[in-house]
Amino acid sequence: MPGSGTDHTRAPVATPAPVIILVEPQMAENIGMCARAMANFGLSEMRLVAPRDGWPGGGGLKKGAMAAASGATHILETARLYPTAAEAIADLNYVLATTARERGQMKRVVTPAEAMPPVAARIGEGERVGILFGRERIGLTNEEISFADAILTFPVNPAFASLNLAQAVLLAGYEWFKATDGQPTFREHTDSPPATRATVLSMFDYLEAELDVCGFFPPGKKQIMTANLRDILHRLAMTEQEARTLRGVFKSLTEGPRRLRVPKPAEGK
pLDDT tens digit string along 74-94?
A: 988 889 999 999 999 999 999
Q: Could you read off the pLDDT of 216-248 as tens digits, one per residue?
A: 999 999 999 999 999 999 988 888 999 999 999
Helix locations, 99-196, DSSP H: 112-124, 142-146, 165-179
CATH fold label, 19-179: Alpha/beta knot (3.40.1280)
Q: What is the pLDDT of residues 84-127, one digit of tens each?
A: 999 999 999 999 999 877 766 778 999 999 999 999 999 998 89
The number of C-alpha atoms within 13 Å of 258 and in the hemisphere containing its C-beta is: 8
Single-letter code of the amino acid located at 171: L
pTM of the model: 0.69
Confidence of residue 208 (pLDDT cuts 50, 70, 90): very high
- DSSP secondary structure letter of residue 150: E
Domain spans, the chain: 19-179, 197-255
**Residues 31-68: pLDDT tens digits?**
999 999 999 999 999 999 999 877 765 555 667 788 88
